Chain A
Amino acid sequence: MGIQTWTFIIVGITFALYIGIAIWSRAGSTKEFYVAGGGVSPLANGLATAADWMSAASFLGMAGIIAFSGYDGSVYLMGWTGGYVLLALLLAPYLRKFGKFTVPDFIGDRYYSNIARTVAVIAALFVSFTYVAGQMRGVGVVFSRFLDVEVNTGVYIGMTVVLFYAFLGGMKGITYTQVAQYCVLIFAFMVPAIFISILATGNPIPQLGFGSAGEDGVYLLDKLDGLMTDLGFTAYTDGSKSMTDVFFITAALMLGTAGLPHVIIRFFTVPKVKDARQSAGYALLFIAILYTTAPAIAVFARTNLMETVEDTPYSEIPAWFTKWEDTGLIAWSDKNNDGKIQYLPGSAIEGKKPLFVEGKGTSGERLISNASASANELYVDRDITVLANPEIANLPNWVIALVAAGGLAAALSTAAGLLLVISTSISHDLIKKQFAKDISDKRELLIARLSAVLAVIVAGYFGINPPGFVASVVALAFGLAASSFFPAIVMGIFSKRMNREGAISGMIAGLGITTYYIARFKLGWIGDPETNTPENWWFGISPEGFGTVGMLVNFAVALLISRFTAAPPDSVQQIVEDIRIPSGAGEAMNH
């Protein structure tokens, strides 16, 4: 059977599975809708958290980013896993003991202030919308790539599927579909990885494979370093970012991970404090399987690319090369007219994507209109690293279809988790807590469902008309989460003296300075565009890493202000005493 047929079959089966689960796990109360009734087992929650966490970008993009940045890619590997240690040790158990539905609930009650709650709601909505806009676009791109439809049609299909189970099942439906989605995505990721590892080194475990030697007896990493330095690239294991920047980016990603509402909210769904700790462990274990495999795939793919294409005549190139050239993910421009591919440092094209024009070149390659002056002739889209794996390893068509289903599972699970946070923020934190305090549970559930519909529509709109800042989504979402939620929650648990005035001014200062810095150096909205260069970064910290500074500012301002203002009332100090003791968590309170 052809790839297309296999893709329709496998994707069809997985979608039927997700929808079946959604119907089976319909939510009957707000408690089920917001926190899955508080009855999810730690193992299931760990699986769901892992699927929630790993987006299409992790599944398709990360190995590619690492393949093309080498050691510098470590910031994502450490940053997106290390945050779970902070979550498990500093946040999850205490927030579970606190036992309400949302992060703004905690901030509002702990800081006895509606202003604090409102700042938290705005930050939660802002972080989640920035993040989900990129995800919906990702859903569309994945659909278009695998099912041969327009990106926008892909967004509509994705919206419909997510809407179906978010509307029916809320957190309960999302949790159990995410469990299924994790299984699909990890299987789809590991099967090609294992085959490629065997092919490259004879070792079936990719994590060990990329530290082994190939058939020629040379260690793979040494060979890759050699290939790269010979052509003038930085050695793969060295990297080109400054140590300061690597440090700050890693920290911002870790702190942001620990402060993202859609991750935190998952720990409200387990029955006990003990389960919250344990499910954080499971979540990281399941995430680590993919995150430790990705750098191995990166090395196999990069080595393969360097060996196969450099100085190879276009006429002798393997079939996968021309196939991906047809899709526009690879482009080659024969700048010196020798019929051979020169793969060197520097960008082969002007701008971000190759612009193809009609006609073929002398070697039969597709012509592009935006070739750069650089001697490098080859453009390779990073996503190809995972996409082309099965073909490079000559795996059967059903494996390629499986990768498609895996990519879709990754994109849908993350989008659904984010949409739930948004709908909860609207129906619970805004409507129930601010405007209509005495509505019945049934009514709130209806509002929650309608908010989910609204959230899907808005997210879909952003997916179809992506705002310019989507590309900066990572810097924004993580920077804002790191500089607002993380310090406010940690101080709320570990400092009894932290009061309303301190927390609010800390959050505003942290959010303010981080937003300013990103607007200044990432988006270029403020200040003279001419000075928007790395030389002008403060202390050499890139916008991606600035969330760490924002967090420090938040802590400093909060501690300072709280020293000069009144201590929190006794009832609040009692809350802090109470969340520090695990027993008596009960189920998430319905209030």
Chain B
Amino acid sequence: MDLNARKKYWKENLKYLSILLAIWFLVSYGFGILLVEELNTIRLGGFKLGFWFAQQGSIYVFVVLIFVYVRLMNKLDKKYNVNE
């Protein structure tokens, strides 16, 4: 793998990381903590939305985030031919 391809591979990886970690931050610290009171005025069935994000929603999103990352990276590895 030449230097240029390495740099590009790493840059794309960092791009994925920033997007996924932004979502990670938003659902937990954003919806579950900082904006919890505002979101609690909205209801999701029997749940107040902020409370739901803090005790349920954020965890579901965490799981999805990791599997999305796995898929993205497997594709990226193939593209740059560094998969095994």
A324 contacts B by Cβ under 8 Å: no
Q: How far is the CB of B74 from chain A (nearest CB, A)?
A: 6
Contacts A243-B34, A247-B34, A281-B63 given; indicate if A74 touches B55 (C-beta within 8 A): yes
Residues of chain B in range 55-80 having any CB-CB distance to chain A below 8 Å: 55-56, 58-60, 62-63, 65-67, 69-70, 73-74, 77
Stretch at the interface among A215-223, A340-348, A440-448: A215-223
Write out the residue numbers on chain A whose beta carbons fall within 8 Å of the beta carbon of B54.
71, 74, 77-78
Which chain A residues border B29 with CB–CB below 8 Å?
Answer: 247, 250-251
| Residues of A contacting B9 in the complex (Cβ-Cβ under 8 angstroms) | 580-581
Which residues of A from 439 to 483 have beta carbons under 8 Å from B? none
Residue B42 at the chain A interface, CB threshold 8 Å: no
CB-CB under 8 A from A81, the residues of chain B are 58-59, 62
One of A24-32, A205-213, A503-511 at the interface: A205-213
CB proximity of A43 to chain B, nearest CB, Å? 13
A274 within 8 A of B: yes
Residue pair A288, B59 in contact (C-beta under 8 Å) = yes
CA distance A580 to B66 in the complex (A): 18
Interface centre among B33, B44, B65 (most CB of A within 10 A): B33
Interface size class of B (residues with CB under 8 A): 35 or more
| Chain A residues within an 8 Å CB radius of B33 | 74, 243, 246-247, 250
A295 touches B83 (CB 8 A): no
- Interface 9-residue window, one of A83-91, A102-110, A149-157, A359-367: A83-91
Roughly how many angstroms separate A272 CA and B77 CA in the complex, as a whole number?
13
| Shortest distance between the CB of A247 and any CB in chain B (Å) | 5
- Residues from chain B with a CB closer than 8 A to the CB of A220 are 46
Interface residues of A in 562-582 (CB under 8 A from B): 577, 580-582
Query: Known contacts being A88-B66, A89-B69, A281-B63, is A581 close to B28, with CB within 8 Å?
Result: no
CB distance from B33 to the nearest CB of A (A): 5
A84 to B28, CA, bound (A): 13
| Chain B residues near A88 (CB-CB < 8 A) | 66, 69-70
CA distance in complex: A554, B47 (Å):
39
The smallest C-beta distance from B60 to any residue of chain A, in angstroms, reads 7
Question: B46, A211: Cβ atoms under 8 Å?
Answer: yes
Contact with B along A243-273 (1 / 0, CB 8 A): 1001100110000000000000000000011
B30 vs chain A, min Cβ distance (A): 11
CA distance A250 to B63 in the complex (A): 17
Determine the distance from Cα of A584 to Cα of B82 in the docked complex, in whole angstroms. Answer: 8
Per-residue CB contact flags for chain A residues 210-248 toward chain B (1 = under 8 Å, else 0) read: 111100000111100000000000000100000100110
CA distance A237 to B29 in the complex (A): 17
**Would you call B28 and A78 a contact (CB within 8 A)?**
yes
Known contacts A77-B54, A90-B17, A274-B83: does B66 contact A85 (CB below 8 Å)? yes
Q: Is B32 touching A207 in the complex (CB atoms < 8 A)?
A: no
Nearest chain A residue, comparing its CB with the CB of B52: A211
Closest CB-CB distance, B61 to chain A, in whole Å?
9
Cβ contact within 8 Å between A74 and B32: yes
Partner of A219, one of B1, B45, B59, B63: B45
Q: A213 → chain B, closest Cβ, in Å?
A: 6
- Determine whether the beta carbon of A82 is less than 8 Å from that of B45: no
Q: Of A78, A93, A278, which one neighbours B58 at CB under 8 angstroms?
A: A78
Which residues from 14 to 55 on chain B have a C-beta closer than 8 Å to any C-beta of chain A? 17, 20-21, 24, 28-29, 32-34, 36, 40, 44-48, 51-52, 54-55
Which single member of B17, B60, B73 contacts A292 (CB below 8 Å)? B60
Residue from B32, B45, B66 within 8 A of A281 (CB atoms) = B66
Q: Are B59 and A280 in contact (CB under 8 A)?
A: no
At the interface, yes or no: A521 with Cβ under 8 Å from chain B?
Answer: no
Complex Cα–Cα for A243 and B50 (A): 13
Q: Is the CB of B40 within 8 A of A89?
A: no
A100 contacts chain B at the CB level, 8 A cutoff: no
Whether the pair B69, A277 counts as a contact (CB closer than 8 A) is: yes
Q: Is A119 close to B, CB under 8 A?
A: no
Complex: how many Å from CA A584 to CA B84?
8
What residues of chain A lie closer than 8 Å to B66, measured between beta carbons?
Answer: 84-85, 88-89, 277, 280-281, 284
The 5 A-B residue pairs with the shortest CB-CB distance in the complex, in nearest-first order: A219-B46, A74-B54, A211-B46, A281-B66, A583-B82
User: 21 A-B Cβ contacts within 8 A?
Assistant: A77-B54, A82-B58, A82-B62, A84-B62, A85-B21, A85-B62, A85-B66, A88-B66, A219-B45, A247-B34, A250-B28, A272-B84, A277-B73, A281-B69, A284-B62, A288-B60, A288-B62, A292-B59, A580-B9, A580-B13, A581-B9
* Given A81-B58, A277-B66, A582-B84, 9 additional A-B pairs, CB 8 A: A66-B55, A71-B51, A211-B45, A247-B34, A274-B84, A280-B66, A281-B67, A580-B13, A581-B6
Interface on B for A, CB 8 Å cutoff?
Answer: 1, 6, 9-10, 13, 17, 20-21, 24, 28-29, 32-34, 36, 40, 44-48, 51-52, 54-56, 58-60, 62-63, 65-67, 69-70, 73-74, 77, 82-84
